[in-house]
Amino acid sequence: MHIDVNNAFLSWTAVDLLKKGHKDIRYEYAVIAGDESKRTGIVLAKSTPAKKKGIKTAETLYSARKKCPYLSVYPPNRELYDAMSKKLFQLLSNYTIDIEVVSIDECFLDYTKVKNIYGDEIKFAYKIKDEIYRKLGFTVNIGIANNKLCAKMASDFTKPNKVHTLYENEVKTKMWPLSVEDLYGIGKSSAQKLQNLNIKTIKDLALADKTMLYPYFKNQTQHIIDIANGIDNEEVVSQKTDSKCISTTYTLLYDYDDINEINKELKKISNKLSYELRCQNKYCQTIAVIIKDMYFKTTTHQTRLKNSTNNGDIIYEISTNLFKEHWDLTPIRLIGIRLDSLTNNNDYQISLFENIEERCEKDNLDKTLDYLRKKYGNDIIK
């Protein structure tokens, strides 16, 4: 199953405001948008009435207000979204531990292992959907299929608050008629290439000649033909705790294409993880950057350190260098850092060109900041 929150940011804001006596903004001309004074004044989510006015995600507030002068604007609230996301996944974990979190508002659930407990998957999906709305106040779409690809496609059928199936025997009738740009895993540039080759629908791609496509898609050719046929062998990978690594990922409020904004997120993550390391009296020997782009393609790039560290500045510097080296300029949906090969040992190989006094000062500064945060809270240091 693929479970996807309908219009997550706006729905979660609406649920929070309803507790405070506010009207339900899901039925008003409303958007969630950033701060115009900080050049982040773009639409992150819009209500159904606002959508009917032609307002689109990622357009500027200036443009949105021209379409709807009486538009209500609400700021994003990352802490609220994290909390609502956590409640969703906690509810689902009451039924199975086989959950793969894809982003803050969606996940895959392997139902096969618990079907003998809960019965028919369609009845169970309706039960879960209704329970989420009853207990948490927002709606979800649930897609059911024989694999992750088709489950994701099914959950994107008509919305909101729906359950759809896309079983193996339904691929030709339900998926093939769709436009090729609607195929999960096909980006805009690939869709444009296919359309230029007169491949308009998913069926056209499913039946395409591999030799004809190969000059344009190289080693990805067989893969895109397979997914057009509903073939996907990826398993649901639930997150396991590993004492030898820690990680943090942030699903961004919109698709970032400004490296300065991305670096700000890497700075926050570096500080958070380095603090966790120091609280555990541990050091990392490997640093990895996790990148998920706007097309949901996830890549991880890592480097092994000469000297283990728990210093936030070092983690940040290495992370930004890794990101810059491997980023292909595709807008980013999610960014994260993973620290591997954790150790209690801080054997340090000194360089002839290193300022040891400066390094000691940084370590002492970290200890002082950690003490202040523990005593007065994380927000004490600005």
Instruction: Give me the residues of the chain with pLDDT under 50, please.
Output: 241-242, 350-353
- Tell me the two tokens of residue 309: 């560290």
d(CA 63, CA 54): 10
Question: Comparing 176-228 with 246-349, is the CATH topology the same?
Answer: no
- Tell me the two tokens of residue 303: 């480097």
d(CA 100, CA 240): 10
DSSP readout, 51-92? Answer: HHTT--TTSBHHHHHHH-TT-EEE---HHHHHHHHHHHHHHH
Q: Which helix (H) or strand (E) holds 315?
A: helix 312-326
pLDDT of residue 326: 87
pLDDT of residue 139: 97
d(CA 191, CA 30): 32
CATH class of the 176-228 domain in this structure:
mainly alpha
Strand locations in 239-367, DSSP E? 246-256, 284-293, 298-309, 332-340
Local structure of 43: helix, strand or coil: strand
> For helices 78-92 and 8-18, what crossing angle results, to 10°?
100
d(CA 160, CA 156): 9
**pLDDT of 103-122, one tens digit each?**
889 999 999 989 999 999 99
d(CA 304, CA 322): 12
CA dihedral 31, 34, 40, 42 (to 10 degrees): 0
CATH of 246-349, one of 3.30.1490.100, 3.30.420.10, 3.40.50.300, 1.10.10.10: 3.30.1490.100
Closest C-alpha among 166, 146, 171 to residue 156? 166
Contact 337, 315 (CB under 8 A): yes
- Ranges of each domain in the chain: 7-76, 176-228, 246-349
Local structure of 49: helix, strand or coil: helix
pTM surpassing 0.85?
Answer: no
Dihedral angle sign, alpha carbons of residues 103, 250, 259, 245: negative
Local structure of 119: helix, strand or coil: coil
Q: Are strands 43-46 and 332-340 parallel, antiparallel or unpaired?
A: unpaired
Q: What's the CATH architecture for 7-76?
A: 3-Layer(aba) Sandwich (3.40)
DSSP readout, 284-296? Answer: EEEEEEEEEETT-
| Cis previous bond, 160, omega within 30 | yes
pLDDT of residue 321: 93
Residues 6+ away with beta carbon under 8 Å from 155: 2, 3, 4, 106, 141, 142, 143, 164
d(CA 293, CA 9): 19
Q: Which residues have a catalytic role annotated?
A: 106
